[in-house]
Amino acid sequence: MAKRRTIGTNPLDVVIPARREERASSAPRVVKERLTVHLPVELIDRIKNAVYWTPGLTLAGLAEEALTAAVEKLEHERGEPFPPRKAELKGGRPLK
pTM over 0.85: no
Residue type, 66: A
pLDDT reported for residue 8: 65
Contacts of 17 (CB under 8 A, 6+ apart): 23
Q: What does the pLDDT profile of the chain (96 residues) look like in tens digits?
A: 566 666 667 777 777 776 665 555 677 898 999 999 999 999 999 999 999 999 999 999 999 999 999 999 999 999 999 999 999 988 877 776
CA dihedral 41, 46, 48, 52 (to 10 degrees): 160
Task: Say if CB 29 and CB 37 are below 8 A apart.
Answer: no
